Structure 1
Amino acid sequence: MKQLKLVLILLLVTFLGCNDEDMSQLETNIDYIEIAKSALYGNGEEGISQSNMVIRNETDWEKLKNQMDSYNDVTDNFNETDIDFDANILIAVFLEIKRNGYEVNIKKVTQTENIVSVSTTENAFMSSVICQPFCIIKIPKTEKNITFE
């Protein structure tokens, strides 16, 4: 009888231990709103290098918009420009300058206990225009580390 109790206790501890570990790595999707997806056409004149940006305040957002508009007025076509940074942050992905048509897409945004992960894809299409694709999204404010895949 003691052996049966011991086996049951060991099994219970084993299952509970596995569940706690699995819960800490549980990945959930984060809903996001696309602010803009387009390309810069200034052949690098905007001075924005290939980068992944996290924008957490109005000052940085205004600076980026001004930089993006330095060659062409691209922000006029944004879905939204007034961002509530008390409740949201922005994620901006800029590809390198491409000699053919390209676009960048945010495939998904997920989170675990400590990390927000942004997955992107690049798609090529037929074009002879030099461009620098970008995508900007809005997600709920978080202090978690943000990684890009």
Structure 2
Amino acid sequence: MKTTILLLISFFIFSCSNDNDDVIVYPQTIIPTEIIKGHLNYNNIYGNENIVISNTSDWQTLMTNFSTIGVINSTAFSETNIDFQNFIIIFVTEVFNSTTTIDITNIQESANNIIVTVENLQVGVTADVAHPFHIVKIPKTTKPIIFQ
């Protein structure tokens, strides 16, 4: 009888597994890959914009526009061949000056959406007009992207 009870207790303990491998806990921080950050010359193509790029055609258009407009105060694109099967691009820009930055400071995934936090970490006081921008790559998602 003790053996039967011991076997039943053992069976119960081992069958009550705590495997939560499929459970996703939100929010989760998404670590983006920076593609490029800097300033565009004054232009009529981009103003205050938050753009999600999910295909090669739109990506090529953006890079062509950057060549036409002229990029100042910037490093080079860290990559230009984006695998849009697995990634999307987030592009933020605004009309300001060449000493102000626009910065994607946080990307959080919740159960229903992706929240991208955009800030000006450096605010300059020059009188020129330029377009600070920041472009990052994140894993592909079907969730809506909200900018704040």
Shared fold (TM-score greater than 0.5)?
A: yes
Aligned: 1:147 with 2:146: yes
Aligned to 1:63: 61
Aligned pair in 2 of structure 1 residues 99, 35: CA closer, same or farther (>3 Å)? closer
**How far 1:125 sits from its partner (Å)?**
2.8
TM-score calculated relative to the size of structure 1 = 0.75
Q: Which has the larger radius of gyration?
A: 2
TM-score calculated relative to the size of structure 2 = 0.75
Q: Give the total of aligned pairs.
A: 124
Aligned: 1:115 with 2:113: yes
% same residue: 28
For residues 46 and 102 of structure 2, what CA distance do their matches in structure 1 show? Answer: 15
Alignment of 1:1-149 (within 5 A): 26-41=26-41, 43-45=42-44, 47-72=45-70, 77-96=76-95, 98-99=96-97, 101-122=99-120, 123-125=122-124, 127-149=126-148
Provide structure 1 residue ranges, at least 5 long, that are not aligned to the other structure.
1-22
Amino acid at match of 1:77: A
For residues 25 and 128 of structure 1, what CA distance do their matches in structure 2 show? Answer: 46
- Is the 8 Å Cα contact of residues 40 and 66 (structure 2) preserved in structure 1? yes
Provide structure 2 residue ranges, at least 5 long, that are not aligned to the other structure.
1-22
More helix per residue = 1
Aligned pair in 2 of structure 1 residues 70, 76: CA closer, same or farther (>3 Å)? farther
**RMSD value over aligned CA atoms?**
2.3
For residues 67 and 49 of structure 1, what CA distance do their matches in structure 2 show? Answer: 13
